[in-house]
Amino acid sequence: MVRSVLLITFFVLSLATNITRAADAMPGWPDVVFDPMIPTLEDVVGHAPGTRITSTDEAITYLRALAAAAPERTRLVEYARSWEGRPLVYMLVGSPQTIAAVEEIKTGMQQLADPADLQSSRIDLLVSELPAVVWLGYGVHGNEVSSTDAALLTAYHLLAAQGSPLFDKIEEGALVAIDPMQNPDGRARFVHHYRQTEGLAPATSAIAAERREPWPNGRTNHYLFDMNRDWLPLTQPETIGRVAAFLEFYPLVYVDAHEMGTDRSYYFPPPAMPYNPHITDQQKETLDAYGRNNAKWFDDFGFEYFTSDVYDAYYPGYGDSWPAFHGSIGMTFEMASARGMAGERTNGSVVTYADGVQRHFVASIGTVETAVDNREQFLRDFVEYRRSADLGEHGGLREFLIPRSGDAVAADALASLLVQHGIEVRRTRESGSACNIDLPVGSYLVSSRQPAGRMVRTFLEDESPMDADFLAEQERRRGLGLRAQLYDILGWSLPRLHNVPVTGCDDVSVAVEDFNGEAGLAWPLPSASQVGWVVPWGTRASGRFLAAAQREGLLVQGADQAFTLGERRYERGALVLRPADQSGMTSAAVHQRVVALAEATGAEVVATDTSYSREGISFGSDSVQPLPAPRIALAWDAPTVSYSAGNTRFVLERQFGYPVEPVRTRDLGQPELDRYDVVILPDGADYARELGSSGVARLKDWVSRGGVVVGMSGGTRFLTADDVGLLPTAREQLAGGKAADETEGTPEGSIITDADAYQQAILPTEPRPDPIPGVLMRAVPDPDHWLSAGVSDGVNFMIDGSDVYVPLRLDQGGNPLRFAQADQLAVGGHLWAENREQWAWKPAVMVADHGAGLVIGFVADPTFRAALDGANIVFLNAVLRAPGQTNKLR
Ligand SMILES: [Zn+2]
C-alpha cells in the first residue's frame, strides 16, 4: 500500500518537473513500474528496445512470448501470409474482461456500423459498454523500421505497466490491436541488408553503405508494391487480410506509422490540404483532438513535431484515409528516419533508431489515451457517421448501375472488389432497365444510401472534387512556376480503373438480391467440337486463357480481323484453338483440356462446327496467326523503378498466370539475350548508361533479328532517345512555352513594366509541360491495328509526368492507341487546362518495325498498381501476341 502511494506521488512529481530527460534514456515511458512476469524484449531476443533493429522473426517470437505470459490479456491472430510465406499478425491487448468478450465486441461494433435497425436503447447500451477499439499499424513500408520496435514496446507497456493511472485507464477502456509489421517481406529485406553491412559502430553519413539500401529497397513487398497505396485496388494478400480484419472490428481509429527524410522531425495529424471531400467536418475535428493530445505529450517530452503539412488526405487508398470512409479515423505518423541505427542530419545533429522507437511509442500511447478519454463520444460520432451516410446526407446520386453486359468478368470483378471493401452490393434477379441503361439479369446495383455511402461515392464517381480555394492556390503557384502541393494521384475512380461502364441513377426499380462477392462462372462450359473453339478477346479472363494455353503447349492462333460464325460476330483479336493443330492429341483429349482451361480462367469459350465465316476471315486466312509461347525477360535492378518492374511482374505472373524472368538490366547486353522472345523495359531513369553503348548495340541487333522490346514510361523514353533510335519520335516541350534565348554575349537592354512581364522574364526557357500528378486519361484505339485488339471502346491510362510525344508518321510506324480529344480526355482526376489541350490526340502506345523485330512504347505504365483493366489487355497484346507478328525465323 505504502509503495503504491509513493509511486503515484512520484508519477505526479515527474510530470510536474517535465520529462524531457527521457529523451536521452532507453525508449519507454518514464517512471513506470513493470510486472516482472511479463518478459522484456531483451529477455526474449537478447537486445533492449532501440539498441538493435529487431528482425521479423524476432518480433514474432517476442509477441508469442508476451501472449504466452499474459494469455488472459492478449489474443494473437494471424490474418494473412506474405508472398514469401511470413505470417502477418495482430495482437489484441485489453483487460481480462475485454479479451474474454472479443467476439461480443466485434458483434457490437458491427451492429453500430449498421445502425438503421438498432433501437436507441441498444445503441446507448453498446456505447456505454464497448471499449475503444484502437488499431495500431506499423511498418507498412518495410524499410521504415523504427515503428516495429515501437509496436513491441507498446505491447510490453500495455501488459506490464503497474500502478500507472495512464496505463490503468487504457487497460480499463481500450481494446488495442497491434499490427507490428504490415510488410514483413520488406522488413526482412531491410534487416538482411542492414545486418550485412553493420560494423563496430553505426556509420552515420548519408552515403554510408548501411544507410543506402540496394535495389529494391525494403519499402515494398515481394512484388514491389507500395502497400500504402493498395488499400484501394486491394491486389496484395497483406492488404486483403488487413481490410478483412478491419471490417470485423470497425476500430475507432487506425494508425499507420511511417518514417520520412532524416532532416525532418515528426509528423502527426491533422493532415495537409486537400482533404478528400467525403471526409466530414466531425472527422476533421476528431483528427484535431488526436493531434492536440499527441502535441501535449510531445511538448512534455520535448520532442519536435509538425502537423498540417506535406501529407494530405485526398487519395482514399492510404492506410490513413481508407478507414475514414467507414467512419473511423485514419492517421499517419511520420518519424525522421535514421535509415539504420543513427543518421546525421544536414545541420549536424544525429537522429537515432531509439529516437524513432520512442517517438512512435509515445504517439501510439497518446492516441490510445485520446480514444479512451473520448470513448463514448467517438462511438456516438461513428454511429452518426454511418447513420448519416445511410440516409444519404452526403448527397449525390442514389444508385450506381453496373450492367452485366460486355465484359461480364470485369463487372463481376468490380462488384466483388466492392464487397471486399465492406460495401453492400445487390444483384438484379430479373432483366430490366434504369436511366436508359439495360440491366441484364445478374447486373449489380450499389446504393450510395448505405453506411459506407461516402466510400461508394469517392470510389465510383469520376472525380472527388478538391476544395476550390486549394485549387485556386495551386493555379497561382503554377503561374509562378512552382510545384503543385499534391502527394499522390488525383484520379482513382474504380470503374475507370477497371474499364467498366458504371452509371449513377436516381430512379431504379428492379427486383434484387444481396450479392455476397462470389459471382461464379460467367459462361457455360464449351461443348465438344471437331473444328475448334473461339475465345473472344479483350477480357482479363481471355488473357488468362491465352497465357494458360501457351504454358500448356497448346497451339493457339489469333485472328487479326473480325469474323462471323453462324449468328455470332467475333471482333478482331479472337483466339482460335483447333484440335487439328494439337499434334498427338485426340479431339476428346483437346476438349477436356479446353474445358479445364475455361473453368480455371473464367473465359468465354465457344465451340464451332464450322470455320466458314459469313462475313470476314476464315481460320485458314493469313490474318490468323499462330501465337507461340514467348519467353519473356523483364529488366530488373537499376535503373528500373522498382514499383514498375515489380508490378509488371505481378500482373503477368499473378493476374494472368504467365512466368517472367527478371534479368538485371546490364545483363541485357549479354549474348544469352537470344534465348528470349520479348524484353520488357519498365519505367526507369537511364537505361543507356546502365547498358553502355555496346549493350545498346546488342539490344538493337537482337530486335533487328526478330525480338520484341516493350518499353513503358522511362523505358519508352530510352527507346526514343536520339542515340538509341528504336522509336522514331521525341518528347514535346510545353506548347506555347518560352523559347530559348539565342542571343549570345551581353543581353540587350529591356524594360519590365508590370508584374506579368516580370513573371514572363523569370520563367525558365523551353520548359516541359507541367507534370501531371496521376490523372486517368482516356485512350482510343486505331481500329485496324492488332495491338489494340480487344479494346475497341478504348481504355484508360494513369498519367503522371510530362511525356507528351510527337505522333509517329505512317512511314515511321503506328500509334495503335492515342489519347482522346481534349473534352473527353480526363476521366478521373483534375487536369490543368493547358495539359488537356496538349495531351489530346497524342500517342498513348506507339509501335515501329526494327529489322525483323518490333519496338513497342507505352507512354504510361499499363501495369500501374496492377489496377488498370483494359490497359493490361493492350500490354498482353504487346508481350503474348507481338512475337507472332514479327518476322523472326522459327
Ligand atoms: Zn512510409
Residue 145: half-sphere exposure toward Cβ, Cα within 13 Å = 32
Q: What is the pLDDT of residue 741?
A: 58
**Ligand 1 center from residue 494 Cα (angstroms):** 24
Mean pLDDT of 672-696: 96
Mean pLDDT of 750-755: 86
Mean pLDDT of 115-142: 97
**Ligand 1 center from residue 224 Cα (angstroms):** 14
**Ligand 1 center from residue 637 Cα (angstroms):** 21
881 near 816, Cβ under 8 Å?
no
**Ligand 1 center from residue 139 Cα (angstroms):** 7
**Ligand 1 center from residue 366 Cα (angstroms):** 20
**Ligand 1 center from residue 307 Cα (angstroms):** 16
User: Residue 816 pLDDT more than 60?
Assistant: yes
**Ligand 1 center from residue 128 Cα (angstroms):** 36
**Ligand 1 center from residue 142 Cα (angstroms):** 8
In terms of phi and psi (left: phi > 0; alpha: psi -120 to 50; beta: otherwise), the region of 487 is alpha
**Ligand 1 center from residue 440 Cα (angstroms):** 44
**Ligand 1 center from residue 227 Cα (angstroms):** 9
Note the pLDDT tens digit of each residue in 277-334: 999 999 999 999 999 999 999 999 999 999 988 788 889 999 999 999 999 999 999 9
Q: What is the pLDDT of residue 465?
A: 83
Q: For the chain, what is the mean pLDDT? A: 93
**Ligand 1 center from residue 346 Cα (angstroms):** 21
**Ligand 1 center from residue 400 Cα (angstroms):** 34
Q: Where are the beta strands (DSSP E) in 758-830?
A: 772-781, 795-801, 814-819, 826-828
Q: What is the pLDDT of residue 5?
A: 40
**Ligand 1 center from residue 662 Cα (angstroms):** 26
**Ligand 1 center from residue 257 Cα (angstroms):** 7
Q: What is the pLDDT of residue 602?
A: 94
Q: What is the pLDDT of residue 616?
A: 85
CB 739: neighbour CB atoms within 10 A?
8
**Ligand 1 center from residue 710 Cα (angstroms):** 31
**Ligand 1 center from residue 817 Cα (angstroms):** 35
**Ligand 1 center from residue 183 Cα (angstroms):** 11
**Ligand 1 center from residue 836 Cα (angstroms):** 32
**Ligand 1 center from residue 471 Cα (angstroms):** 26
Q: Which of 52-66, 556-570, 610-624, 650-664 has the lowest mean pLDDT?
A: 610-624
Q: Which of 216-230, 308-322, 729-743 has the lowest mean pLDDT?
A: 729-743
802 near 733, Cβ under 8 Å?
no
Separation between Cα atoms, residue 808 and residue 729, nearest integer Å = 6
Note the pLDDT tens digit of each residue in 476-504: 887 777 777 776 778 899 999 999 999 99
**Ligand 1 center from residue 106 Cα (angstroms):** 29
230 near 241, Cβ under 8 Å?
no
Mean pLDDT of 685-703: 96
3-state secondary structure 195-223: HHHCCCCCCCCCCCHHHCCCCCCCCCCCC
Q: What is the pLDDT of residue 805?
A: 97
**Ligand 1 center from residue 381 Cα (angstroms):** 29
Q: Which residues contact 654 (CB under 8 A, 6 or more apart)?
A: 223, 866
Mean pLDDT of 160-165: 96
**Ligand 1 center from residue 140 Cα (angstroms):** 7
Nearest to 684 by CA among 668, 671, 673: 668
Mean pLDDT of 158-181: 98
In terms of phi and psi (left: phi > 0; alpha: psi -120 to 50; beta: otherwise), the region of 565 is beta
User: Residue 57 pLDDT more than 80?
Assistant: yes
Nearest to 844 by CA among 869, 793, 807: 807
**Ligand 1 center from residue 301 Cα (angstroms):** 24
CB 515: neighbour CB atoms within 10 A?
21
**Ligand 1 center from residue 680 Cα (angstroms):** 28
SS3 776: strand
Separation between Cα atoms, residue 181 and residue 150, nearest integer Å = 11
Separation between Cα atoms, residue 281 and residue 274, nearest integer Å = 13
**Ligand 1 center from residue 265 Cα (angstroms):** 14
Nearest to 776 by CA among 816, 737, 735, 825: 825
**Ligand 1 center from residue 339 Cα (angstroms):** 12
User: Residue 244 pLDDT more than 50?
Assistant: yes
**Ligand 1 center from residue 49 Cα (angstroms):** 21
Q: What is the pLDDT of residue 475?
A: 80
Separation between Cα atoms, residue 414 and residue 616, nearest integer Å = 34
**Ligand 1 center from residue 287 Cα (angstroms):** 19
Note the pLDDT tens digit of each residue in 510-569: 999 999 999 888 899 999 999 999 999 999 999 999 999 999 999 999 999 999 998 999
**Ligand 1 center from residue 46 Cα (angstroms):** 28
**Ligand 1 center from residue 409 Cα (angstroms):** 34
CB 833: neighbour CB atoms within 10 A?
9
Q: Where are the beta strands (DSSP E) in 458-602?
A: 503-505, 512-514, 532-535, 557-559, 563-565, 568-570, 575-577
**Ligand 1 center from residue 345 Cα (angstroms):** 19
**Ligand 1 center from residue 23 Cα (angstroms):** 24
**Ligand 1 center from residue 333 Cα (angstroms):** 9
Give CA separation, 292 vs 295, 297, 357, 668, in Å: 5, 9, 21, 55
Q: What is the pLDDT of residue 312?
A: 80
Note the pLDDT tens digit of each residue in 625-646: 999 999 999 999 999 999 999 9
If 0-12 CB within 10 Å is exposed, 13-18 middle and 19+ buried, where does residue 746 land? exposed
Cell of 817: 492507341
**Ligand 1 center from residue 260 Cα (angstroms):** 7
Q: What is the pLDDT of residue 738?
A: 67
Q: What is the pLDDT of residue 419?
A: 98
Residue type, position 759, single letter: Q
Q: Which of 55-64, 189-198, 740-749, 841-850 has the lowest mean pLDDT?
A: 740-749
**Ligand 1 center from residue 336 Cα (angstroms):** 11
User: Residue 248 pLDDT more than 80?
Assistant: yes
Separation between Cα atoms, residue 857 and residue 808, nearest integer Å = 11
673 near 633, Cβ under 8 Å?
yes
Residue type, position 391, single letter: L
Residue type, position 310, single letter: V
Cell of 65: 512470448
**Ligand 1 center from residue 248 Cα (angstroms):** 25
Q: How confident is the model at residue 889 (pLDDT cuts 50, 70, 90)?
A: low
Higher local confidence (pLDDT), 562 or 22: 562
**Ligand 1 center from residue 6 Cα (angstroms):** 42
**Ligand 1 center from residue 488 Cα (angstroms):** 13
Higher local confidence (pLDDT), 4 or 527: 527
Residue type, position 497, single letter: L
**Ligand 1 center from residue 767 Cα (angstroms):** 31
SS3 792: coil
Of all residues in the chain, the percent with pLDDT exceeding 70 is 96
Note the pLDDT tens digit of each residue in 83-128: 999 999 999 999 999 999 999 999 999 999 999 989 999 999 999 9
CA dihedral 557, 558, 560, 562 (to 10 degrees): 100
Separation between Cα atoms, residue 819 and residue 816, nearest integer Å = 10
Q: How confident is the model at residue 7 (pLDDT cuts 50, 70, 90)?
A: very low
**Ligand 1 center from residue 177 Cα (angstroms):** 20
Domains of the chain, start order: 2-14+52-390 (3.40.630.10), 399-514 (no CATH), 532-626 (no CATH), 632-732+768-885 (3.40.50.880)
**Ligand 1 center from residue 332 Cα (angstroms):** 9
**Ligand 1 center from residue 187 Cα (angstroms):** 12
**Ligand 1 center from residue 138 Cα (angstroms):** 10
**Ligand 1 center from residue 182 Cα (angstroms):** 11
**Ligand 1 center from residue 401 Cα (angstroms):** 36
SS3 817: strand
User: Residue 15 pLDDT more than 60?
Assistant: no
**Ligand 1 center from residue 593 Cα (angstroms):** 46
**Ligand 1 center from residue 643 Cα (angstroms):** 14
Rg, C-alpha atoms of the chain = 29
Q: What is the DSSP letter of 38?
A: S
Q: What is the pLDDT of residue 441?
A: 95
Q: What is the pLDDT of residue 743?
A: 54
In sequence order, what are the beta bridge partners of 454? none
**Ligand 1 center from residue 196 Cα (angstroms):** 23
Q: Where are the beta strands (DSSP E) in 462-539?
A: 503-505, 512-514, 532-535
Higher local confidence (pLDDT), 340 or 485: 340
Q: What is the DSSP letter of 675?
A: G
SS3 625: strand
Cell of 799: 498519367
Out of 139-148, 615-624, 754-763, give the one with best mean pLDDT: 139-148
**Ligand 1 center from residue 297 Cα (angstroms):** 23
Mean pLDDT of 191-210: 96
**Ligand 1 center from residue 334 Cα (angstroms):** 7
SS3 810: coil
**Ligand 1 center from residue 584 Cα (angstroms):** 55
Q: What is the pLDDT of residue 6?
A: 40
Q: Which residues contact 224 (CB under 8 A, 6 or more apart)?
A: 216, 642, 643, 645, 646, 647, 649, 650
Residue 745: half-sphere exposure toward Cβ, Cα within 13 Å = 1
**Ligand 1 center from residue 256 Cα (angstroms):** 9
Q: What is the pLDDT of residue 10?
A: 40
**Ligand 1 center from residue 181 Cα (angstroms):** 12
